[in-house]
Amino acid sequence: MIIVLKPNVKEERKRQLIDWLKGMNLGVHISNGEFQTVLGLIGDTTQVDIELIDSLDIVDSVKRVTETFKSSNRKFHPEDTVIEVGDVKIGGGNFCLIAGPCSVETEEQIVTVAKAVKAAGANLFRGGAFKPRTSPYDFQGLGARGIELLKIAREETGLPFVTEIMNISDLPLFEDVDVLQVGARNTQNYDLLKELGRIDKPILLKRGLAGTLKELLMSAEYIMSNGNEKVILCERGIRTYSDYMRNTLDISAVPMLHELSHLPVIVDPSHATGMARMVPPMAMAATACGADGIMIEVHNDPIHALCDGAQSMTPEDYTALVKRIKAVREVIA
Amino acid sequence: MIIVLKPNVKEERKRQLIDWLKGMNLGVHISNGEFQTVLGLIGDTTQVDIELIDSLDIVDSVKRVTETFKSSNRKFHPEDTVIEVGDVKIGGGNFCLIAGPCSVETEEQIVTVAKAVKAAGANLFRGGAFKPRTSPYDFQGLGARGIELLKIAREETGLPFVTEIMNISDLPLFEDVDVLQVGARNTQNYDLLKELGRIDKPILLKRGLAGTLKELLMSAEYIMSNGNEKVILCERGIRTYSDYMRNTLDISAVPMLHELSHLPVIVDPSHATGMARMVPPMAMAATACGADGIMIEVHNDPIHALCDGAQSMTPEDYTALVKRIKAVREVIA
Amino acid sequence: MIIVLKPNVKEERKRQLIDWLKGMNLGVHISNGEFQTVLGLIGDTTQVDIELIDSLDIVDSVKRVTETFKSSNRKFHPEDTVIEVGDVKIGGGNFCLIAGPCSVETEEQIVTVAKAVKAAGANLFRGGAFKPRTSPYDFQGLGARGIELLKIAREETGLPFVTEIMNISDLPLFEDVDVLQVGARNTQNYDLLKELGRIDKPILLKRGLAGTLKELLMSAEYIMSNGNEKVILCERGIRTYSDYMRNTLDISAVPMLHELSHLPVIVDPSHATGMARMVPPMAMAATACGADGIMIEVHNDPIHALCDGAQSMTPEDYTALVKRIKAVREVIA
Amino acid sequence: MIIVLKPNVKEERKRQLIDWLKGMNLGVHISNGEFQTVLGLIGDTTQVDIELIDSLDIVDSVKRVTETFKSSNRKFHPEDTVIEVGDVKIGGGNFCLIAGPCSVETEEQIVTVAKAVKAAGANLFRGGAFKPRTSPYDFQGLGARGIELLKIAREETGLPFVTEIMNISDLPLFEDVDVLQVGARNTQNYDLLKELGRIDKPILLKRGLAGTLKELLMSAEYIMSNGNEKVILCERGIRTYSDYMRNTLDISAVPMLHELSHLPVIVDPSHATGMARMVPPMAMAATACGADGIMIEVHNDPIHALCDGAQSMTPEDYTALVKRIKAVREVIA
């Protein structure tokens, strides 16, 4: 950790700070510059509260030299992590296609869509049983019944599935779920993350609504430091002031997360844009810059089907898109 | 709800949409403009998924005419809500001062600070027992023991206290807590909110890290629609690209929330700025624009005390600030 | 334009507003809903100040039904615009590759790089003669001399070039420039835009540092409404709170601008990311989602060359990237 | 400047970088930590391109120890700057009230409003002659004629006035203007700023639409380094994702700019909120946290007057607000 002091700090104040640091068993390397003093801390600085130091009136700025994320850090784990879900591999050069409806509604619906996306080339399917909705007056999902329907669809297709968990107390219902998703509103629900760190199932962890990459990695750290190393990171758009689109897909997160971490990185263009007609170009972009997988909403609902602009694509459009995704994947692989 | 269609939409597509809307028992008022068709929906539109309609390719835009927040809405409840915590009243012209350390550390610490802020004029005190930390490697709070210490400090001072709850399963520990705080990372933890809607205690609900005002009100709605109407809204700064400060205090949230809702609105300048020296001007600003209370971090820790720039103020500085706050409060009351 | 009034507005106030609107020769269609009144304006509403109406205390919200951008609007001009620069075509299925150094430094430098990027497959080259720098103490570019050097490089290679104009009074120096660039800090320098609307040369218009798509199109409108329809839109990243990258490349701007406008849309991944190693994945993403061209910084400077991570790529890396870009382009074309 | 290298960098690469730095006549202090090497640069680092270094693949991060703003920096000029406009003093404990219509429309209008705001207690008045409008189809101001009308109003009231300049070539028209305003869209129009640095008149410099504080100070630097030290900084709200308000007033900019710089800092709540009814609470907040002045839009236009919610306040409301502002000012002065 490097601490830059303000110019003209009194010797006594400087001394107090250095003594306090030394009291934490840290070595302090003092470098007196032309204008300012710089302190270099040597030893285990993970115990040091960087925000406290940064807020001191004699401190100009402070910087960690070593990153605070460890388990997810590529520096300490150079090879890509490959996560296995049944026969499907995610990460390390393996590309996955996840698709399915926003919410599970009926057995017929989820089975039909699961079959359709399998035919199109998907290797996992998805569907929400518990739905986080901004309004308490909106449909909150089928709950336990939804998970039962997902299992029926798995039976019918042989595809493993992903579904979202919102609440620790629901965990027993997820015993036979293949991949547990943590949604964007729960990315920093630390108690939930800790609990998911104690199970042995892949976790698909979405970036927060307005989360930084560092926060996403620190949330992964909550899972991994509790023992579960099977974390899949998911970019799903962030909140900005940009117009015409629900969120701003931060596509550069894909190569940057790959540089910072060994975990697989997938992209969800459906939530990022909120419009089915914008999903194909974003899915193509995500593939072209190296994402390890693409998760897309696909429906078979006649209401949606009547208008091709909804967030969810039709099975036909998805089938066409998968062909193009695979062609791009061939160029870059 | 008003739906503006794109120009040159085919009659058949238009007809399909209108039929679908009518199928939901909605009246549809069709207005054919020079360039575009506008549909006005009459009836209960709370069931209509605005995002779905907005994403249809034949739709230019869609707008709710009636707001989705109800229990918290001033339109349906014109008088200010006044929340009582022991003898203390919050809202409706009653001004409250909440202060105390970031975390509960020891009995001596919390008792000393509680006495100091009481002497300065605070009418509630605060202290964190469960701490949401970005890193799993940081101090996570004393937990149950912290709550016991807070009760001791209440015994000693007679002041009620506020402390944060992060997890539904901890709820039994909060039975004798005066005000439960929901932190910025849990503002959209809907299961937690629902549960807090079933108890009969005031909830101090912080705005999300990057939350909108509408989202804050919808989160209040999750609590209120489950039966607990004692919600205190708290502005604590939002995430932006602005520099030199931890967050950007959105001070205009105070008068705007007062216009939209009848709930009390308080401001937390300590988390908004992250620097004790910036707390007094922000506390003054919040008071001057009509906040119903100010929550400030105050400590008695010699490590902090050595440098007056930390996020937490000293009791001396807090005492001086309270005098100035009260003088501004007199001008505006 | 649609104006939604607040509930319970007094008849007299409503009448005053309607009379005022009628006074501007607008038809006013009044629709009294269950809760609220909605006014639909018929006629030429371009003269109506939407912000004024939106700010009236009796108005809940107001919405333009017809977009304010006209010349750039695809609704009124469904076919793609194709812009010709010498033999090079941009837009309408024609893909262009623009490359060159950030700043023109010496004749040798610019000629060497221009030759190198031509060999790699670029069909235009770029270089800054006038440089907008945040600090007045930083290098501000070679100015007029830089433009002379760009012409020499054009002579040597036969490639047309792009360079930035910052100031109307410099316009005479740009007489023999092929494409004039407007930088992100000047996107809303309306006097400059108007002046560029009076010349007959292609304008490469960058999105503002924190600009919306609508603002970008309105800035194009400033140029086009003055007579010059040769505008190339350029996405170059926007300012957000996201970390590790200079800006956030808003890749979804590409398909959305294509939907809204008939103008060509290119992407600048060098400024969006600020790191050469992030340029290839972003260039691939931009190509895969349909950009009409990619503009990349390439240098031959030994200082830069020593470290492959700078914002500018080496000619070798650029050559390799162009091959991959072309392969993706083949998939999507 | 401090450069932190990545772990495990090859000696040869490290050596190349150090040699290059030494070649710029900089001393390089090398500190080999447990994990990483840190380079401290000694000498004149203003010539060093921090973005270039930051982007090198062997560099983890880089940090300037000395700030890049000099003339505006309080470190080198501890006393407040006081700017004199006729008899009016701005900064250094002197509080100013600026008010007037958004645009100059007629002689009667500007004279009436100037008299009204003088009666209310304003010591400067304002009015736009040249208007930066997002759309080329909107009213662009009266131009030269507007400035003539402002002079008439000055004659009638004795108050100096502020008006916006957008274009260097208009400068001769501003010879007899008291304070020249640079609007938010021109904050980084560097050629305009340089030119304003060569005149001897106060410049009211608005923060950019999405500008950082550092950028605002660097823009002040463009004016000051050219010889004109009379710069008044103006906070006017920044672009965020927050809802219900046009911009987000960053009130913490006031104390932070006062800490960083000796220049006066005023606040414009009219543009920040876009609603007259939100202006009073924001003006009170700005006063309470120490702003050196408040600039407010006031009109006498019957169209506006009919509805009290417009961005511009009525003279009556402004008169009442000034009384309250002065009462708060007494508390804090």
DSSP structure class, residue D27: E
Print burial letters for B8-17: b (CB count within 10 Å at least 16), e (below 16). ebeeebeebb
Q: Within a 10 A sphere around the Cβ of A168, how many other Cβ atoms?
A: 17
**Distance between CA B282 and CA B7 in Å, rounded?**
49
For residue C217, give the chain A residue with the closest CA: A243
Residue B7 has pLDDT above 80, yes or no: no
Q: Indicate the residue of A255, A282, A289 with minimum beta-carbon distance to C252.
A: A282
**β-pair type (D293-297, C59-63):** unpaired
For residue D327, give the chain B residue with the closest CA: B331
pLDDT averaged over chain D? Answer: 90
Please report which confidence band the pLDDT of residue C7 belongs to, taking 50, 70 and 90 as the band edges: confident
Answer yes or no: do C38 and B239 touch at CB < 8 A: no
Residue A34 has pLDDT above 70, yes or no: no
Q: How far is CA C138 from CA B281, C47, C135, C198, D49, in A?
A: 35, 44, 6, 32, 8
**Distance between CA C260 and CA A316 in Å, rounded?**
25
- The Cα of C185 is separated from the nearest Cα of chain B by a number of Å equal to 17
- The Cα of B281 is separated from the nearest Cα of chain C by a number of Å equal to 25
Question: What ipTM score was computed for the predicted complex, to two decimals?
Answer: 0.89
The residue of B1, B8, B66 whose CB has the most chain C CBs within 10 angstroms, and thus the best one to mutate to test that interface, is: B66
DSSP string, A258-321: HHHBSS-EEE-HHHHHS-GGGHHHHHHHHHHTT-SEEEEEB---HHHHTSTTSSSBPHHHHHHH
Please report which confidence band the pLDDT of residue D301 belongs to, taking 50, 70 and 90 as the band edges: confident
Q: How far is CA A265 from CA A103, B149, B167, D47, in A?
A: 23, 44, 29, 39
Q: Within a 10 A sphere around the Cβ of B314, how many other Cβ atoms?
A: 18
Residues A170 and A281 in one domain: yes
Domain contains C69 = no
Q: What is the pLDDT of residue B304?
A: 56
Residues B54 and B91 in one domain: no
A119-168 pLDDT, tens digit per residue, is 999 999 999 999 888 888 777 889 999 999 999 999 999 999 999 999 99
DSSP structure class, residue A171: G
CB contact residues (below 8 A), chain C span 74-103, against chain B: 75
Domain contains B69 = no
Contact status, residue B183 vs residue B212, Cβ threshold 8 Å: no
For residue D59, give the chain A residue with the closest CA: A65
B1–D contact, CB cutoff 8 A: no
Domain contains A69 = no
Residues B203 and B304 in one domain: yes
- The Cα of C87 is separated from the nearest Cα of chain D by a number of Å equal to 32
C58-77 pLDDT, tens digit per residue, is 888 887 766 778 899 998 89
Q: Indicate the residue of C2, C65, C240 with minimum beta-carbon distance to B241.
A: C240
B104-148 pLDDT, tens digit per residue, is 989 999 999 999 999 999 999 999 999 888 888 777 889 999 999
Q: What is the pLDDT of residue A306?
A: 47
Q: What is the pLDDT of residue A76?
A: 85
Answer yes or no: do C255 and A245 touch at CB < 8 A: no
* Radius of gyration of chain C from its Cα atoms, rounded to whole angstroms: 23
Q: What is the pLDDT of residue D259?
A: 95
**Distance between CA C264 and CA C283 in Å, rounded?**
16
Contact status, residue A36 vs residue A3, Cβ threshold 8 Å: no
Residue C306 has pLDDT above 50, yes or no: no
B54-84 pLDDT, tens digit per residue, is 877 788 888 776 677 889 999 889 999 999 9
B254–D contact, CB cutoff 8 A: yes
- The Cα of A249 is separated from the nearest Cα of chain D by a number of Å equal to 15
Residues A24 and A100 in one domain: no
Residues D54 and D91 in one domain: no
- The Cα of D283 is separated from the nearest Cα of chain B by a number of Å equal to 8
B56 interaction partners in chain A (CB closer than 8 Å): 307, 309-310
Q: Tell me the residue type at D91.
A: G
D291–B contact, CB cutoff 8 A: no
Q: What is the pLDDT of residue C104?
A: 92
Residues B166 and B289 in one domain: yes
Answer yes or no: do A328 and C331 touch at CB < 8 A: yes
Q: Within a 10 A sphere around the Cβ of A25, how many other Cβ atoms?
A: 9
D223-249 pLDDT, tens digit per residue, is 999 999 999 999 999 999 999 888 999
Q: Name the maximum alpha-carbon separation found in chain B.
A: 76
**Distance between CA D246 and CA D206 in Å, rounded?**
16
Q: What is the pLDDT of residue C35?
A: 62
Those residues whose C-beta lies under 8 Å from the C-beta of residue C186, and which sit 6 or more positions away, are: C132, C166, C192, D189
Residue B314 has pLDDT above 60, yes or no: yes
Residue A69 has pLDDT above 90, yes or no: no
Q: Within a 10 A sphere around the Cβ of A119, how many other Cβ atoms?
A: 13
**Distance between CA A103 and CA A298 in Å, rounded?**
10
D83-110 pLDDT, tens digit per residue, is 999 999 999 999 999 999 988 989 999 9
Phi, psi of C253, rounded to the nearest 5 degrees: -60, -30
Domain contains B162 = yes
* Cross-strand pairs, C3: C39, C62
- The Cα of C155 is separated from the nearest Cα of chain D by a number of Å equal to 30
Minimum mean pLDDT among B158-162, D130-134, D194-198, D284-288: which range?
D130-134
C12–D contact, CB cutoff 8 A: no
Contact status, residue D265 vs residue D233, Cβ threshold 8 Å: yes
Using a pLDDT cut of 90, give the percent of chain A over it: 67
C144–A contact, CB cutoff 8 A: no
A241–D contact, CB cutoff 8 A: yes
Q: What is the pLDDT of residue D303?
A: 59
Residues C99 and C59 in one domain: no
Please report which confidence band the pLDDT of residue A303 belongs to, taking 50, 70 and 90 as the band edges: low
Phi, psi of C182, rounded to the nearest 5 degrees: -105, 120
**Distance between CA D200 and CA D218 in Å, rounded?**
19
Burial of A299 (0-12, 13-18, 19+ CB in 10 A): buried
Residues C51 and C126 in one domain: no
Residues C295 and C172 in one domain: yes
Residues C13 and C97 in one domain: no
Q: Which of A27, A44, A63 is the last residue of a domain?
A: A63
Answer yes or no: do D252 and B213 touch at CB < 8 A: no
Q: What is the pLDDT of residue A257?
A: 98
A281–C contact, CB cutoff 8 A: yes
Please report which confidence band the pLDDT of residue A333 belongs to, taking 50, 70 and 90 as the band edges: confident
Domain contains D69 = no
Residues D119 and D216 in one domain: yes
Answer yes or no: do A260 and C244 touch at CB < 8 A: yes
Q: How far is CA D184 from CA C170, D215, D271, in A?
A: 23, 12, 10
Q: Tell me the residue type at B272.
A: A
Q: Tell me the residue type at D63.
A: K
Q: Which of B36, B63, B90 is the last residue of a domain?
A: B63
Residue B302 has pLDDT above 70, yes or no: no
Residue B188 has pLDDT above 90, yes or no: yes
Phi, psi of B179, rounded to the nearest 5 degrees: -130, 130
A28–C contact, CB cutoff 8 A: no
B247-277 pLDDT, tens digit per residue, is 999 999 999 999 999 999 999 999 999 888 8
Total domains in chain B come to 2
B309–A contact, CB cutoff 8 A: yes
Domain contains A68 = no
Q: Indicate the residue of C7, C40, C60 with minimum beta-carbon distance to B33.
A: C40
Return left, alpha or beta for B248; rule: phi > 0 is left, psi -120 to 50 is alpha, else beta. beta
Q: What is the pLDDT of residue B306?
A: 47
DSSP structure class, residue B277: G
Q: How far apart are the first and last CA of chain A?
A: 39
D29 interaction partners in chain A (CB closer than 8 Å): 31
Residue D206 has pLDDT above 80, yes or no: yes
Answer yes or no: do C210 and A241 touch at CB < 8 A: yes
Q: What is the pLDDT of residue B54?
A: 80
Mean pLDDT of C261-289: 95
Q: Tell me the residue type at B312.
A: S
Task: Tell me the whole-structure pTM to 2 decimals.
Answer: 0.89
pLDDT greater at residue C20 or residue C239 = C239
- The Cα of D216 is separated from the nearest Cα of chain C by a number of Å equal to 9
Q: How far is CA D294 from CA A266, A291, D86, D325, in A?
A: 49, 50, 18, 9
**Distance between CA B75 and CA B71 in Å, rounded?**
10
Domain contains B308 = yes
Answer yes or no: do C307 and D57 touch at CB < 8 A: yes
Q: What is the pLDDT of residue A33?
A: 65
Q: Which of C63, C82, C100 is the last residue of a domain?
A: C63
Mean pLDDT of C175-185: 97
Interface chains of chain B (3 or more CB pairs under 8 Å): A, C, D
Q: Within a 10 A sphere around the Cβ of D133, how many other Cβ atoms?
A: 15
A242-269 pLDDT, tens digit per residue, is 998 889 999 999 999 999 999 999 999 9
Please report which confidence band the pLDDT of residue A309 belongs to, taking 50, 70 and 90 as the band edges: very low
**Distance between CA B267 and CA C22 in Å, rounded?**
44
- The Cα of C305 is separated from the nearest Cα of chain A by a number of Å equal to 21
Residue whose C-alpha is closest to residue C97's, from C281, C266, C295: C295
Domain contains D99 = yes
A164-190 pLDDT, tens digit per residue, is 999 999 999 999 999 999 999 999 999
C143-153 pLDDT, tens digit per residue, is 999 999 999 99
Please report which confidence band the pLDDT of residue C48 belongs to, taking 50, 70 and 90 as the band edges: confident
Mean pLDDT of A5-29: 84
Q: State the CATH number of the domain containing residue B46.
A: 3.30.70.1140
Interface chains of chain D (3 or more CB pairs under 8 Å): A, B, C
Q: What is the pLDDT of residue D304?
A: 56
Residue D67 has pLDDT above 90, yes or no: no
DSSP structure class, residue B46: G
Residues D138 and D202 in one domain: yes
Q: What is the pLDDT of residue C187?
A: 95
Q: State the CATH number of the domain containing residue D215.
A: 3.20.20.70
Return left, alpha or beta for D245; rule: phi > 0 is left, psi -120 to 50 is alpha, else beta. beta
Residue D179 has pLDDT above 90, yes or no: yes
Q: Provide the H-helix boundaries in C140-212.
A: 144-157, 190-196
Q: Indicate the residue of B133, B194, B307 with minimum beta-carbon distance to A58.
A: B307
Answer yes or no: do B282 and D289 touch at CB < 8 A: yes
Question: Which residue's structure tokens are 């007494």?
Answer: D330
- SS3 state at D313: strand
What is the residue range of D11's domain? 2-63
Give kind and range of the element (H or E) at residue D128.
Answer: none
Paired tokens of A275? 């419009």
DSSP structure class, residue A204: E
The residue of B67, B216, B252, B275 whose CB has the most chain D CBs within 10 angstroms, and thus the best one to mutate to test that interface, is: B252
Q: How far apart are the first and last CA of chain B?
A: 39
Number of DSSP helices (H) and strands (E) in chain B, helices first: 11, 14
Residue D14 has pLDDT above 70, yes or no: yes
Those residues whose C-beta lies under 8 Å from the C-beta of residue D19, and which sit 6 or more positions away, are: none
Answer yes or no: do A2 and D34 touch at CB < 8 A: no
Return left, alpha or beta for A190; rule: phi > 0 is left, psi -120 to 50 is alpha, else beta. alpha
Residue B231 has pLDDT above 80, yes or no: yes
Residue A300 has pLDDT above 90, yes or no: no
Residue C97 has pLDDT above 50, yes or no: yes
Residue C133 has pLDDT above 50, yes or no: yes
